[in-house]
Structure formats: structure tokens, C-alpha cells
């Protein structure tokens, strides 16, 4: 059978499409793959005191002038109870990425993993 060596066949197209798809997927997932997992970082008085995996449901307290009860559930984190006067931290609700949950009176900042797009958030 006579055949041009460089003739394009259907299977080539399919293979090319597959490679392209794989490459695009890798591009999309690379930043995520390079991360060491989804962690929230808890700072008190500007000092990192704890890193919390958002994959592990848990509850813990951060005590300073006041006490914040922090809960991790279903990949999200929130200050669920606080004895600080304003409770702004509790009102910030459940968050999974982007920005930070802040308790000003307790000088606590819970930095969320970057969502890859938002650089800063406006309350």
C-alpha cells in the first residue's frame, strides 16, 4: 500500500487534541499542584502562631485579650464564637479562600489561602 509518510490521519488529530488537553489541564492545575495544600495561617500580634489545614474538620481557640473560637468544617473556616466586643470576626462568616478573617480587638488575623485571583479585599 502506498502512503505518504506525513499524511495527517484522524488518529493524529485525536492524539494532538489529547496532548493539548493534557497541557491545558496541567497549566490550569499547576499552581494548585505546586501548593503544599490548602492551609489557613493564624497570626496574632503580627506573628504566625498556627497553620490549619482546611481539609481537617476541627475547632480550636485563639486566646489573647479575648478568645476566638475557630471552626474548620467542609473546607471552610470561620470564627464561630468570640467574646470580643464587636464580633466583626464572627460576622465575616465562613470563608475558604481569598483575604483574611480579622479580629481587631484580639489582634488576630486568619489569612486564607489565596484563591489565585484576588490580591486584596475591601470590607
Partner 1 sequence: MRRVRCLLLAAVLLLTGCAVQVQEPSLTRYEASFLSLFDTVTTMVGFASSEDEFRAVAQQIHDDLEEYHQLYDIYHDYPGINNLKTVNDMAGAAPVQVDRRIVDLLLLCKDMEQETGGMVNVAMGSVLQLWHEARMDALADPAHARLPDQQLLQQAAEHTDLDKVIVDEEHSTVFLSDPQMRLDVGAVAKGYAVRQVCSNAPKGLLISVGGNVCSTGEKPDGTPWVVGLENPDGGNYLHTIYHTIGAVVTSGDYQRYFIADGKAYHHIIDPDTLMPGTNWRAVSILCEDSALADALSTALFLLPRAEGQKLLDRFEASAMWVALDGSEYFSPGFEERLKT
Cα(103)–Cα(84) distance, rounded to whole angstroms?
8
Q: How many residues does the chain have?
A: 123
Is 29 one of the binding residues for partner 1 (CB under 8 A)? no
Is 63 one of the binding residues for partner 1 (CB under 8 A)? no
Which of 68, 77, 99, 110: binder of partner 1 (CB under 8 A)? 99
Which of 22, 32, 51, 58: binder of partner 1 (CB under 8 A)? 22
Cα(28)–Cα(71) distance, rounded to whole angstroms?
30
Cα(17)–Cα(55) distance, rounded to whole angstroms?
34
Cα(18)–Cα(43) distance, rounded to whole angstroms?
45
Stretch that binds partner 1, among 9-17, 51-59, 65-73 (CB under 8 A): 9-17
Q: Which three cell numbers stand for residue 54?
A: 482546611
Residues lying near partner 1 in the complex (CB under 8 A): 12, 15-16, 19-20, 22-24, 26-27, 30-31, 43, 45-46, 85-86, 91-95, 98-100, 102, 104, 107, 109, 111, 117-123
Amino acid at each position: 500500500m502506498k502512503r505518504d509518510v506525513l499524511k495527517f490521519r484522524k488518529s493524529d488529530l485525536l492524539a494532538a487534541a489529547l496532548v493539548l488537553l493534557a497541557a491545558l489541564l496541567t497549566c490550569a492545575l499547576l499552581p494548585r499542584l505546586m501548593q503544599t495544600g490548602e492551609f489557613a495561617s493564624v497570626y496574632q500580634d503580627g506573628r504566625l502562631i498556627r497553620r490549619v489545614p482546611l481539609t481537617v474538620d476541627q475547632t480550636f481557640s485563639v486566646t489573647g485579650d479575648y478568645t476566638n473560637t475557630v471552626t474548620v468544617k467542609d473546607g471552610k473556616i470561620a470564627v464561630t464564637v468570640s467574646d470580643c466586643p464587636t464580633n466583626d470576626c464572627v460576622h465575616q462568616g465562613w470563608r475558604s479562600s481569598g483575604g483574611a478573617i480579622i479580629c481587631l480587638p484580639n489582634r488576630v488575623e486568619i489569612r486564607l489561602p489565596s484563591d489565585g485571583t484576588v490580591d486584596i479585599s475591601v470590607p
